[in-house]
Amino acid sequence: MENPATETHADRGNFIWDFIDEDLASGRYDHVRTRYPPEPNGHLHIGHCKAIYIDAMTARRYGGKFNLRFDDTNPAKEEQEFVDGIMEDIRWYGFDWDDGPYFASDYYEQCYGLAEKLILQGDAYVDELTQEQMRDYRGTLTQPGRDSPFRERPADESLALFRRMRSGEFPEGSYTLRARIDMSSPNVNLRDPVLYRILYKEHHRAGKAWCIYPMYDYAHPIGDALEGITHSLCSMEYEIHRPLYDWVVGKCGFENPPRQIEFARLNVTRTVMSKRFLRRLVEAGKTRGWDDPRMPTIAGMRRRGYPQSALVDFIERAGVSKVDSTVDASLLEHCVREALEETAPRAMAALRPLKVILTNWPEGKSDAVTLENHPNHPEMGSRTLTFGRELYIERDDFMENPPKKYFRLYPGGEVRLKGAYIVRCDRAVKDEAGEVVALECTVDMESRSGSPGSARKVKGTLHWVSGADAVPLSVRLYGPLLVDEPTVEADSETSDEDPEAEAKTAKPVKTDFENRINPDSLAELSGCLGEPTLARARVGDRFQFMRQGYFAVDPDSGDGAIVFNRTVGLKDSWAKRIQG
């Protein structure tokens, strides 16, 4: 298994490792095996990065094993596309599993056999209540539930019905298999939860072999136990599910079952942290898919240009605790910016180009200008650009009537063009509508960078692109997907298959976040121009566009059309906050 973390972070303790140290010292376990158990009903998001990191790094710390298991118990929402995408995401993130991938569907026969065992032990029964009736019988958070009229059904009768359920003799919703636990328990998860339901859906792996499917809360602990997991690490919303987890593995007869330990989930400002709601955004057409660079999915962040190391750095800085907190999204951007500052080569591009005509530059004359690819890493080499009579600068770098201390270009003002010459703006050329369409400038021919005349100083330095060989670009600029804090109090991992999960966790899920979609979260710029070296850029390549930000080549590039995503801007609000 790869280790993308630094040794300093890997050696840093936390409460999870304290518990594991106690288990090893007491002899409860003599080894450590963890697992990451995603449901293949969507793509992974930034919240899952924390769970993957904790599971994988815990196994590494103790020289143990790290499993990948897909808890594929709901064929109505699960697809092979998500299985493939999740594996790609985990590997890109820098981790690999020691064993697997496994699937809950690998254990369907064992789950079924154990369900028959529970029936014969008197720990499960076949029920005929509808979903609405079951909800009414369950009670509330303050009122106990009531026993189903079918709760005392004899074991042999329940067993016969359960086998007929498997044979496909009954319609959906007519029967369920429920655990017989305690309808008066203050924990609603123990009020005779459903273990199996009838579902005539083709499974992405099992096909049509099954028409009854185990519920997540039943199959999940069995999968852990069958794989020999020692420590089931999960986020805090599973704490209320832990008694059911322990009941399942105990009643099924597993010796030395896994220990469940919960940690606080990752919350990030202006970010929806639930696959259920992210899926709604995709299906409603609010985004361009799971890998939309505005999405907090690993696929989206990868497409946007986030380095893998930045995500690891962010998760490490967020830390591991049992107390819920919210991390500012600007910290993630800071981690991305720090990583790219060291690794991204520099390039020049004009996103909103404005033509510059050097009136005293001889027609047909060109000059070769050499620029370093990275100011702090000479080993990254240099590139040579052509400087000629017609150039382009950024339109925002010119003002006709500038304020005081404006150090860019204006009529009568001078700037240095990066690595080249000092130029003075003589006249703004306008079209019939009065819009500035070009600047006529004069070059100080003695001011070439590196020449004796370069000692003359001006306060502004601008990036530029040669008109002779500029490369056309399309650029996508991204802002926050949500305009302010989301009201979604959803989980980062909780199973989506239970329609009553919200009531069970006692955390209401508000859905008005769709009204908070930022209409300005995407700006698409065409007609951008870049230096000719960008013509060789390939999908995934990252650059710092000087004075603009960090950009990555998007997969939509092709057939001579290069599309860049702005990964992150140059301004670092997080660094300013912690310094000031």
Average pLDDT over residues 198-217: 97
Contact by Cβ (8 Å): 370, 403: no
Q: Which tokens sit at 40?
A: 């293949």
pLDDT value at residue 573: 64
**Same fold yes or no, 7-263 and 269-346+472-484+514-580:** no
pLDDT value at residue 104: 98
Out of 60, 153, 265, 408, pick the active-site residue. Answer: 265
pLDDT value at residue 1: 42
pLDDT value at residue 574: 54
- Give the per-residue SS3 of 265-300: CCEECCCCCCHHHHHHHHHCCCCCCCCCCCCCEHHH
pLDDT value at residue 3: 43
pLDDT value at residue 571: 86
Domain residue ranges in the chain: 7-263, 269-346+472-484+514-580, 349-463
Q: pLDDT grade, residue 452 (50/70/90)?
A: confident
Query: How confident is the model over 520-541, as pLDDT tens digits?
Result: 999 999 999 999 999 999 999 9
Q: pLDDT grade, residue 579 (50/70/90)?
A: low
Out of 33, 35, 39, 270, pick the active-site residue. Answer: 39
Query: How confident is the model over 456-489, as pLDDT tens digits?
Result: 889 999 999 999 999 999 999 998 888 765 444 4
Sign of CA dihedral 48, 49, 55, 58: negative
Q: Is 275 a catalytic residue?
A: yes
Asked if pLDDT for residue 282 goes beyond 70, the answer is yes
Q: Which residue has the higher pLDDT, 13 or 151?
A: 151
Q: List b or e across 268-307, with b for residues whose CB sees 16 or more CB atoms inside 10 angstroms.
A: bbbbbbbbbbbbebbeeebbeebbbbbbbbbbbbbbbbbb
Asked if pLDDT for residue 426 goes beyond 60, the answer is yes
pLDDT value at residue 485: 54
Q: Is 265 a catalytic residue?
A: yes
Pick from 403, 413, 366, 297: nearest CA to 532:
366
Out of 180, 191, 259, 275, pick the active-site residue. Answer: 275
Q: If you average pLDDT over every residue of the chain, what do you get?
A: 92
Q: What is the CATH number of domain 349-463?
A: 2.40.240.10
Query: How confident is the model over 554-577, as pLDDT tens digits?
Result: 999 988 789 999 999 998 765 555
> Can you tell me the distance from the alpha carbon of 83 to that of 66, in angstroms, rounded to the nearest whole number?
18
Give the position of tokens 């995934």: 540
Q: Which tokens sit at 258?
A: 């896994």
pLDDT value at residue 354: 98
Q: Is 414 a catalytic residue?
A: no
Query: How confident is the model over 312-369, as pLDDT tens digits?
Result: 999 999 999 999 889 999 999 999 999 999 999 999 999 999 999 999 999 999 999 9
pLDDT value at residue 580: 46
CATH value of 7-263 in 3.90.1150.10, 3.30.470.10, 3.40.50.620, 3.50.50.60: 3.40.50.620
pLDDT value at residue 482: 81
CATH H-level, domain 269-346+472-484+514-580: superfamily: Ribosomal Protein L25; Chain P (2.40.240.10)
Asked if pLDDT for residue 506 goes beyond 80, the answer is no
pLDDT value at residue 575: 55
Asked if pLDDT for residue 512 goes beyond 80, the answer is no
Pairing of strands 436-444, 422-430: antiparallel
> pLDDT over 70 for what percent of the chain?
91
The helix-helix angle for 15-26 and 46-61 (nearest 10°) equals 30
